[in-house]
Every structure is written in C-alpha cells, then in structure tokens.
Structure 1
Amino acid sequence: MTSSQGLKSRSIFSLVALSQLGVSIFSLPLGLFMVTKQGGWVSCLITGAITQLAICCIWYASYSESKQTSIDRLRSIFGRWIGSLIMSGYILYSLFIISVVLYYWADITRAWIFRSTPLLFTGVLLTMLAVYLSLGGIQAISRFAPIGYLGLFLLFFIVITVIPELKPSRLFVGSNSYGFMPVTKGVGIAVQSMLGFEILWLWIGHSTDRPKKILLAASMANWCVTLIYMLIVISCNSFFSDGQFRFISYPLLYLIKSKAFIFIERTDLFILSFWISNVLITMSAYLSLASSYFQILFPRVGLRTITYCFALITAVLAYLIGDNDISEASLTRLILPMGIGFAFLIPLIATVKAKLTHLAEGRIRADK
C-alpha cells in the first residue's frame, strides 16, 4: 500500500469501532446477566478501561522508534525469531476468531431467520464476501463502514424509543450484583465482545496520519463502543425481569422486536440485515491480519492464495464447531485466554520491551 493509499484517523476510528461491535453484541446481555445479574454495565465500563490501556500499549510499541511504523513491527521489537513466532500465533488466533464469529452469526441467522438453511451454506456465503473485502485491501474494508454505521444508528434509535418502557428499579435487584467476584467474572465475558482492536497492529502499519491523531481516533472508538455496550446491557436489564432472562437466548433481539413501526414491522430482521456489515468487517479485518502476517513470514506465497486458503480453513472450522455442537461455554474457555494473551498481554510486553530498548539506546548514546 502506498502512502497515498494509507489509512487516515477517521478510517482507524471506523475499523476499530465496527470490528468491536460484531456478532457478540446480541448475546452479551445474557452472558453478563448469568454471572453478574444487574451489574453487567459495570463490567463493561471496567473492560473499556482495560481495553484503552491495551490500545495505548499497541500505539506506543508501534511508534516507539519513530513517527513511522510498519506492519512488521513485532519482529522489530522482539527480534526475528521470537517476533515471527508471535506473528504465527496471531495468524492462528485470527483464524480461530473468524471461525467463531462465523459460527455465531450462522447460528443467530439459523435461529432467527433461516431455520431450515444449513449452517455450511450460510458460512460459505459469508466467507466469500469476507474474502472479497479482504482482497480489496484495508481501504475497501473501511469504505464498507457506512453500512455498519447505518445499522448502528437504527439500533440506537430503537433502543432510545424503548426507554419509556424500561424499569430502572430492576437494576438494583439483587444485593450481590455489584460485588467484586460477579463484576470480575463479567469482565471476562465483556472482554470477548471488545476484541477486534488488536488488529491495530496492522492498521497502524498502514496509517499515514500523525501518531497522536491515530491514538485519539482509536481511543474515541473504544469508548464509543464501551458506552454502546453499557447502554444495551442497562436497557436489557431494565426491560426484562430475572425470570424472562432465563428463557431468551438473544435479549437484544427480543428487545428490538418489541418495537414495531408503520414502515418497519419486523425491526429485528431489519437490524440483522444491516448488522451483517459489521460481521463482515470483523471477519475481513482478521483475515487481512492473518494473510498479511503470513506473507511477511513467507513472502514467496501470493496474498490471494493465502487469503483463499485461510478462508477455506475458517469455513471448515466453523462447520466443525457447529457439527460437533460445541457449547458457548466451551468456546468461551478457549477465546478468553487467547484474547487476553494476544489482545492484552503481548501489547503490554511489547511496550515494556520497546521502552527498555529505548532507554538502553539512550544510555549508549550518552556514553558516546
């Protein structure tokens, strides 16, 4: 990608926000309710703060040497061999996340829209669209953002119209909802919904704006997503009683469905038809990360070949997840440690390593 084609701060904002606002938004209120009851919004707030720290770490590590950076930054920080090993880990991590996102979206559409459509058909179709976006480059992915913004605006509008029907007193039911352990467990659930920002390793490498503008854009995107998640969790907790929560798998969709307008009867289907753009942005962004890192490690392999192979792997893996009926709890136990490692720990270690290297180089220059 040439300099003229580089990402601007507004594109960084869109990519970070829409990658985080993926398919997990529909199951997040239930997941938080099962462990925190009414304190889920506190877990979202804490997770947003932790995510902000990770974003700052990725940003600092990317620009620690100069105002210019590259997508090969991990090898610059950790060295050729360790950096290559970490990049290989990001490739496997990205492929697994794509597979899980693909499975979750196919499961939602099968339960809500296409009851008789095989998961494999839905998965292959969505994967083909993700491949098309990924091969178009990061700029093509960012240009897809307006559709995602439209879906987000419609969701926000519907949630606002439901406010008069909410019962805020339900937020204070249960004395242990805001305890340390429930909220901490809720952070583990919310972390999975915030994933997507770690692709900043790739996006910053393609950016041409000033570093401070990039950090500001990514930070604003993170806090916008955090506030949206908090609003949705509070709305669902205020709208449904404890008994109702136990019998609904996607509270947000039921909340949306409760509102109908003259021009839109099934608001839930209307939102889902637009939300597919967010899912595609998430999938194509992770696919771009995996393909770009693989090409750095194996430059003789063409990007198009890599992308098609990775897409096939993720489609097969998503099918196997559904075919073996792997529970959401089992997937959570896999995603959580991987997400913590690749989205939080590696950026933190990279920042410490980059800082120590910078201090050591400063001492050497001072001695000379």
Structure 2
Amino acid sequence: MSQTISLTNGQIFFLMIQTQVGFGILTLPNTLQSTSKGDGWMSVLLAGAVIQLFLVMIWLLMRRFPRFIYSEITTFLLGKTVGTFINTIMYLYFILAATFILLQFASIIKEHLLLSTPFWVIGLLMMLTCTYLAISDIRIIARFFALISVLILFKFGISFFSFLLPVDLHHILPLGSSGVKQIALGGKDCLLTVLGFELILFLYPLASKKGTTFLKVITWANVFVTGLTAYFVILCIMIFSQPALEEIKYPVIYFLRPLQFQMIDRLDLLFLSIWIVPLGISIVTYIYMGSKILPFFRGKSYKLVLMNSTLIFVLFTIAKKDLDSQKLYSSFVEYLSYAVVFAIPCILLLISYLFKKSGKEVSC
C-alpha cells in the first residue's frame, strides 16, 4: 500500500475505540445482573482478555497476508466458491449488526429525547447521516473519528458529577462472591457489548506501520475500551442497588438523572446526546465494511454503500413493528457474530498454518 492511502497509528487507534464504544455499554450493568451481579466489572476484564487473545489471532492471520484485503484471504485459502460464500455470510452479518444498532438507537432516542417523533423518521435521519460519512474515503472517516474522540473526555467529565450522589462500595464486595461460573457467563455478555474490533480485518493492509507496531496500537485500543467499560459498570453498581439495576434498562443514563444544577438541568439528556455520536459511528463502520467484503463490487463501493443503507433501513422498518421479532433478531445477530467475528478468522489462521499458505511478509 502506498503512503498516500495509509492510516497512521493514531487514526487506527481512534477507529478501534470509536467502533467498539457503542450502545451496549448503556445497558451492560443491567444485563450483568442476571449473571455476575456485583462482580460485573470482573466479567468486563475477562471479556477484555478474551478479546485481546482474538486480536492477536487476527493479527497473526493478517500478518501472513499483509497486502491482502480480507475478502481476498478467504478466497485464497478456501477457494473461490467457499470463500465467496463466507464473504456473503460476513456481509449479511454486517448488515444485520448495523440494523440492530439502528433499532436500539431509535428506541432509546424515542424513549428519552424525541418522544413525539415517528420511529421511522429517527431511523431515516440517522441513516442519511451515516451514509454521507460511509460513502467517503477511509482516511476521511478516520480523521472524523479522531476529531470527535474528544467527546470521550466530555463523557468522563460528566460522569464525575455522579460522585455527588451517595455511592456504596459494599455493592461490589466481597470480591468474587458471584463465583467463577457466573463471572464467566457475564464475560460472554460483555463480548457482544464491545464488538467492532473485527474492523482490524480491513485496516491492516492500510496501516502505515504493520507488524508488532500495529499489534501494540490495537492492544492499547482494547485496553482503553475495556477500562472505559469497567469504569461505567463499577460506577453503576456502586450507585444503584442490585434490585434497582435489575429494573433499570439504561443505568448508565439514569445515574445522572437526580443531579440538578442552577444553570444545567437533566444532565442525563446531555450525556445521552453526546453518546449518540459513537452509536452512529458503529453504523458507519459496519456499512463501510459491508461495502468492502464483496469482491464483485470492487471499484464501485459507493454504490454498495447506498445499497447497504437502503437494505438496513428496510430491515429496520420491518423489525420495529413487533417487540418479539426484535428479540429474535437480536438473538440471531448474537449467534451469527460468534461465527463471523470469532470462528471464521481462527479457522482461516489454522488453515494458513496447516497448508503453509501466506503472502509476502512486510517488516515493521
């Protein structure tokens, strides 16, 4: 790859964290109450360790094919027919994952901010915005992601106001009281919260510095996201009691609701407004990856971006009508993610070693 289309370490770092920090964190403290309860932060750390393992495995795979895009690796290792089938499954996953995020985004905005706005209008406005960005060059997307990363500082700053509320450290004590099995089950729920790291499958060929340098960048991004997630989980556990967390669907939003100041009211709505940005960014990422996974659209990615956005919006309008269908849709995306994000890259890495297939290695 020439340097004119390469991405810097900083751009890759911000692409990673902005893609992973999405909707899931808002509901994670509530989700963990069914498994690890007060040890939920341990489940987050466990999930971060598991993700790091898969990051290393994906890095090993991409390092063997430093100049191949991911769709070329699948066809090279599995053959054209099987490889195209796998690419199609991954394309389906990207579309469904983006639709699921759009559904959750529209639901939370409809419930907390735009109470009278039609559901489909909220989804349409978000899709128009995401399409406008996804149709751009990856360097433009990366620069935008890096620019709006300053909002993370605002999230931290606003969350510090929560320490004005009564907090109880005993809610996370004694440590490990839930048991190893429940903490592990909670870790499984956390994995789905920070999905998006599969973006590195498409970033490695564009990285200006590959090899161990690339691994260090994605490792620090994973450490940052894991730390951020654990911070909000611990914060919610200390503020809310266990019965309260079981009832509150969005505890990361609600812990700011009791705070009122003379010049600022409803701090939770300000916090939510800032969190809208990473929600949209996750959709942009999946639309972009969907436009790169099907090789027969190569050179016409803007057309596939438009097709992806249209398909996502159509699925969004269909799934929103019934709550049960949304839950079924969520379960389908969850199980599909296990295959696409975790199983397929590992199988490809194993095949590449067993049959000793690789591309030309590029040194750091």
One fold, TM greater than 0.5? yes
1:332, distance to aligned residue in structure 2 (A): 4.2
1:187 aligns to what? Answer: 187
1:203, distance to aligned residue in structure 2 (A): 1.5
1:328, distance to aligned residue in structure 2 (A): 6.4
**One-letter amino acid matched to 1:61:** L
Structure 1 CA distance for aligned equivalents of residues 178 and 216 of structure 2: 31
Structure 2 CA distance for aligned equivalents of residues 169 and 327 of structure 1: 39
1:336 aligns to what? Answer: 334
8 Å CA contact retained: 1:52, 1:219: yes
1:364 aligns to what? Answer: none
1:263, distance to aligned residue in structure 2 (A): 4.9
TM-score normalized with structure 2 length? 0.90
1:70 aligns to what? Answer: 69
Gaps of 5+ in 1: 362-368
- Partner of 1:358, secondary structure, is coil
1:366 aligns to what? Answer: none
1:322 aligns to what? Answer: 320
- The answer to whether residue 166 in structure 2 is matched with residue 168 in structure 1 is no
**One-letter amino acid matched to 2:173:** F
8 Å CA contact retained: 1:147, 1:277: no
8 Å CA contact retained: 2:320, 2:326: no
1:365 aligns to what? Answer: none
The equivalences for 1:346-361 within 5 A come to: 346-358=344-356
8 Å CA contact retained: 2:33, 2:246: no
- Partner of 1:115, secondary structure, is coil
Gaps of 5+ in 2: 360-364
1:331, distance to aligned residue in structure 2 (A): 4.2
1:162, distance to aligned residue in structure 2 (A): 2.4
Structure 2 CA distance for aligned equivalents of residues 27 and 15 of structure 1: 22
1:297 aligns to what? Answer: 296
CA 262–154 in structure 1, closer or farther in 2 if over 3 Å, else same: farther
Alignment length (residue pairs): 357
TM-score normalized with structure 1 length? 0.90
2:343 aligns to what? Answer: 345
8 Å CA contact retained: 2:91, 2:290: yes
CA shift digits 1:138-171 (9 cap, x unpaired): 2222122245423321221233342463211011
8 Å CA contact retained: 1:103, 1:318: yes
CA shift digits 1:44-102 (9 cap, x unpaired): 1111111111111111111114x544343332333322222211111000000000000
1:27 aligns to what? Answer: 27
Structure 2 CA distance for aligned equivalents of residues 282 and 21 of structure 1: 8
1:329, distance to aligned residue in structure 2 (A): 4.9
Structure 2 CA distance for aligned equivalents of residues 22 and 123 of structure 1: 16
How much is the aligned-residue C-alpha RMSD, in angstroms? 2.3
CA 261–16 in structure 1, closer or farther in 2 if over 3 Å, else same: farther
1:258 aligns to what? Answer: 258
- The answer to whether residue 59 in structure 2 is matched with residue 52 in structure 1 is no
CA shift digits 1:171-206 (9 cap, x unpaired): 127x98522332222122111111001121112232
1:25, distance to aligned residue in structure 2 (A): 1.4
- Partner of 1:265, secondary structure, is coil
**Percent identity between the two aligned chains:** 24
CA 172–74 in structure 1, closer or farther in 2 if over 3 Å, else same: same
8 Å CA contact retained: 1:77, 1:350: yes
